[in-house]
Amino acid sequence: MLSEQLRTFARAWLPARTNVNARERLRAVVGAGLGLLVTALLSQLTGSSIDSRWLVAPLGASAVLVFALPASPLAQPWSVIAGNTFSALVGVACARWIADPVWASALAPALAIGLMFGLRCLHPPGGAVALFAVLSQTTHFPFSLYPVALNSVLLVLAGVLYNSLTGRRYPHVQLAPRKPSADARFSSADVDAVLARYNQVLDISRDDLEALIRETELESYRRRLGTVRCADIMSRDPVVAEFGTPLQEAWALMQARRIKALPVIDRTRRVVGIVTQADFFRHIDLDHHEGLGGRLRDFIRATRTVMSSKPEVVGQIMTRQVRVASEERPMVELVPLFSEGGHHHIPIIDGERRLTGMITQSDFVRALYRAVGPEAPQEASAADR
């Protein structure tokens, strides 16, 4: 037990792997180099008779945030410019009015952090700027304007140009909370509530955090559903009809098996159509409910004469345009058919286009429930099939 605790403690000191590729790392390296080069050249050209220093060291840390973490709230233009500038003012004030350098070195960064919190411009290099002013015994307040404010403005302008050209949103504007949809598993208010309980500064914007949570949820669905094939969820050996199956026989079969559709096949078991309860009702007058059962019985009853003015067999009322799916097709690809296409039954075919099964809405919902939730009941109601 003790050894395990020691190993856990040791692992806590190791850095986590950075989940960015080589291209993004190169983008950040080149951006920081170019940004600091432009800032240094322009700052040096402006010069100042008050302070001969034209570049402050903490700006290197600002460059890390602006070019390597452009989405961070700590790297946004107001945070960089105001955070560094006001921290410089605090550092100069401490160097000027606190005689003991030890006390001044401790108070300057602490007071700068408090001021940055109050002004909503928290920027980690700001603490270094305040300390730099104390250690260099800088006691003139214009130091906050030149070089600190000028350096910060130039670096931010370079960051806006470079990040935009390389496909990164900067400034990274905080988006408004999303309105929850009816089927959303969590809302923006839920995110806010969790962040309030966490009560710590995060190096990520709130809208980015919410977007990452939603993308993670979608990726989880894709991972769990992407490997499920139609063959894994279909009902095998479905009840079928042929073109010449009498209407009365087909209707009786649907009632006996408590199903709502019959795929219609030819002699080679290839699908030529599908007949549903809706196909039967389409041929009788539904505007009047009285005597509906009688009209249905009259419709499906076989005509004993040679000539008939009404349909007699399944092939005459079936739907000929049928959406089918192969056994190997991923289940997730059927989502649009069931959710938007209005389909309730999808015949499943093999490599030779022969019927091998049927997927109904209940089959699909049951498989979806198994994939994204706790274990679902194994059998659906036969009335839904």
Contact present, 237 and 257 (Cβ < 8 Å) = no
Tokens 């092939």 sit at which residue? 315
What residues pair up with 349 in beta bridges, in sequence order? Answer: 326, 355
Angle at the Cα of 11 from the Cα atoms of 7 and 16, rounded to 5 degrees = 160
What residues pair up with 358 in beta bridges, in sequence order? Answer: 235, 347
Q: Where are the beta strands (DSSP E) in 209-265?
A: 235-236, 241-242, 261-265
Ramachandran angles phi, psi of 229, nearest 5°: -95, 165
Beta carbons within 8 Å of 114's beta carbon, 6+ residues apart: none
Beta carbons within 8 Å of 95's beta carbon, 6+ residues apart: 104, 108, 133, 134, 136, 137, 138, 139
Q: How far apart are CA 197 and CA 228, in angstroms?
A: 38
| Helix (H) or strand (E) run with residue 304 in it | none
What pLDDT is stored for residue 385 in this prediction? 47
Strand bridging mode 355-360 / 235-236: antiparallel
What would you measure as the largest C-alpha separation in the chain, in angstroms?
A: 118
CA distances from 336 to 44, 217, 351 (A): 61, 19, 23
Beta carbons within 8 Å of 48's beta carbon, 6+ residues apart: 54, 142, 146, 147
Beta carbons within 8 Å of 125's beta carbon, 6+ residues apart: 58, 59, 61, 62, 65, 83, 84
Nearest to 56 by CA among 124, 147, 120: 147
Angle at the Cα of 76 from the Cα atoms of 74 and 82, rounded to 5 degrees = 85
| Domain 230-384 fold | CBS-domain (3.10.580)
pTM: 0.61
In the chain, domain spans:
20-165, 188-226, 230-384
CB atoms within 10 A of CB 366: 18
Angle at the Cα of 48 from the Cα atoms of 47 and 50, rounded to 5 degrees = 160
Structure tokens at 38: 């432009």
Q: At what angle do helices 77-97 and 150-165 cross, to 10 degrees?
A: 160
Q: How far apart are CA 385 and CA 362, in angstroms?
A: 7
What pLDDT is stored for residue 31 in this prediction? 97
In the chain, the amino acid numbered 259 is I
Contact present, 253 and 241 (Cβ < 8 Å) = yes
Strand bridging mode 261-265 / 271-276: antiparallel
Q: What is the pLDDT along the chain (385 residues), one digit of tens a residue?
A: 677 888 787 777 877 777 889 999 999 999 999 999 999 999 998 876 666 789 999 999 999 999 999 999 999 999 999 999 999 999 999 999 999 999 999 999 999 999 999 999 999 999 999 999 999 999 999 999 999 999 999 999 999 999 999 999 999 876 666 665 555 667 788 888 888 998 988 888 888 888 888 888 777 777 777 778 899 889 898 999 999 999 999 999 999 998 989 999 999 999 999 999 888 888 776 666 566 778 888 888 888 776 777 888 999 999 988 889 999 988 888 888 887 667 888 999 999 999 999 999 888 888 877 766 654 444 444 444 4
